[in-house]
Structure 1
Amino acid sequence: MSQFDLPAVSRIQRECYSESILESVDSFSAKLSASPDFCFVAVQGQLVVGYVVSLPWTFGEIPKLDSAEYSVPPEADSLCIHDMAVTPSAREVGAAKHMLNTVLGTANHMGYKQVFLVAIQGASSYWMRHGFKVVPAGKSLKRELSAYGQEAVYMVKGED
């Protein structure tokens, strides 16, 4: 992913998510700047049809939604898949699976044995099919999850 891809990322985000959790282009730019090795796009022909934005992070915490500043915590012990979305037309050709495999392979190559995410809008079953497990959230994490919507679920894959 590059800064030039951000208008397409914003377009895809609007196609896939409810208004209450949309993030600004500035927020995507900040995440990309903080973690360029873990942000990818899926392209079909000349068109960006999907994206994944990930950051090294500390397990048990989550990045703030729609912030204009992100920096990788020095104690980052895991990779956080902050957002992954694919246009409805590209879902049937395996764009999401390809991006997920790419980010998981990169995480492993960079030494991150654990990957976590926040599943939203009922997507936890998708992530479970890919080996992620629900993590019970304590009071503090539940407060942070509330920004991601009522159905937000904290999930992890890899070492505990």
Structure 2
Amino acid sequence: MISLEHAQLRLMTPADLIAVIQIQAEAYVDEMLESQEVIAARLANVADTSWVVECAGQVCAYLVAYLSQANSVTPWGSEFAHKPDADTFYLHDLAVSHRAKGLRMGPWLIAGVFDQMRERGLRRAALVSVQDSQGFWSKLGFRVVDQLAPEQVRHLQTYTGPAVYMQCDL
């Protein structure tokens, strides 16, 4: 049985990619699915900010993120790497398996990762909310940023459905 009591937050490895792809397929509409090659390239670039939650020997959630700059939106499907002079922790992809539904795995994972980012000296987090997840992120302290440069608005428009750029203080 999956529970937070026995959950372990750890860095993602290439061996986790199949489970990550399966969880992504559970969590997102088909238009939002990213290829294993894209996810593997991101992992290679930002292995120190990509995590999984392991429960009973199985990956049950993941987060792929990177160090970025405020008000900078990553276009959907693009590769990324840590940005020089980063001031913001950018959460690109958080997904939780249906097996862990109702356990508050997402907020638990975010809390553990935010502690690590504060230790690195970061004071802000950002993300693009998709698939009507704005309420979830608002409960975690994120707020909508309406004023973005035109190029960043174009990047935001690469996401399927309503997409909203949000930030919070760590």
Partner of 1:20: 31
When normalised by structure 1's length, the TM-score is: 0.91
Amino acid of the structure 2 residue aligned with 1:133: R
Partner of 1:109: 119
Structure 1: tracts of 5 or more residues without a match: none
> Do residues 83 (structure 1) and 89 (structure 2) align?
no
Amino acid of the structure 2 residue aligned with 1:80: Y
How many residues align? The count is 158
Partner of 2:158: 147
Q: Cα deviation per residue 1:77-121 (whole Å; 9 max; x = unaligned)?
A: 111000100012202222212211122111111111000000100
> Do residues 74 (structure 1) and 91 (structure 2) align?
no
| Structure 1 or 2: more helix by fraction | 1
CA RMSD of aligned residues (A): 1.5
Q: Is the contact made by 2:67 and 2:89 (CA closer than 8 Å) also made in structure 1? A: yes
Q: Is the contact made by 1:120 and 1:153 (CA closer than 8 Å) also made in structure 2? A: yes
Q: Is the contact made by 2:125 and 2:169 (CA closer than 8 Å) also made in structure 1? A: yes
Structure 2: tracts of 5 or more residues without a match: 1-11
Q: Is the contact made by 2:76 and 2:155 (CA closer than 8 Å) also made in structure 1? A: no
Q: Cα deviation per residue 1:121-157 (whole Å; 9 max; x = unaligned)?
A: 0000000001000100433222111112221010000
TM superposition shift of 1:70: 2.6
Q: Is the contact made by 2:75 and 2:156 (CA closer than 8 Å) also made in structure 1? A: no
Q: Is the contact made by 1:137 and 1:154 (CA closer than 8 Å) also made in structure 2? A: no
- For residue 118 of structure 1, give the secondary structure of its aligned residue in structure 2: strand
Greater shift after overlay, 96-105 or 136-145?
136-145
Q: Is the contact made by 1:58 and 1:73 (CA closer than 8 Å) also made in structure 2? A: yes
Partner of 1:52: 63
- For residue 70 of structure 1, give the secondary structure of its aligned residue in structure 2: coil
Q: Cα deviation per residue 1:43-85 (whole Å; 9 max; x = unaligned)?
A: 2212111101110011111223223x43222132111000100
